[in-house]
C-alpha cells in the first residue's frame, strides 16, 4: 500500500501526497494510482474509459495491480498519459 507523506507542503496545499511503498501484489485505488503516476484522477478514469489502463472493478470501485501498472507504464511511456 502507499503511505501518506507527512510533509508540511502537502498539508499546506490541501492535497494528499503519497509516498510509494509498494510491494509485489499490491493493489491501488484510482486515487492512489493517480498520486503514484502524478496525474489527476480524471486522467486515470479517461484512460480506463479508453481501455488503455490495466485495472478491474470491485463493485463500483476500480483497483489496479502495481506490477501490471508498472509494466504498462514501461511499455507505453509517460508521453501516453
Domains defined for the chain, CATH in brackets: 25-80 (1.10.1660)
Count Cβ atoms within 10 A of the Cβ of residue 77 and give its class: 0-12 exposed, 13-18 middle, 19 or more buried: exposed
- Helix-, strand-, coil-residue percentages of the chain, each rounded to 5: 45, 20, 35
Q: What is the pLDDT of residues 16-27, one digit of tens each?
A: 544 556 666 789
**What does the longest C-alpha to C-alpha distance in the chain come to?**
36
Which pLDDT band, with edges at 50, 70 and 90, does 76 fall under? confident
What's the predicted TM-score (pTM) here? 0.67
- Per-residue pLDDT band at 64 (split at 50, 70, 90): very high
Amino acid at each position: 500500500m502507499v503511505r501518506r507523506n507527512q510533509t508540511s507542503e502537502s498539508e499546506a496545499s490541501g492535497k494528499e501526497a503519497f509516498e510509494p511503498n509498494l510491494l509485489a501484489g499490491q493493489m491501488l485505488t484510482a486515487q492512489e494510482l493517480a498520486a503514484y503516476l502524478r496525474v489527476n484522477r480524471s486522467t486515470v478514469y479517461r484512460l480506463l474509459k479508453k481501455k488503455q489502463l490495466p485495472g478491474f472493478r470491485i463493485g463500483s470501485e476500480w483497483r489496479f495491480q502495481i506490477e501490471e501498472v508498472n509494466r504498462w507504464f514501461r511499455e507505453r511511456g509517460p508521453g501516453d498519459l
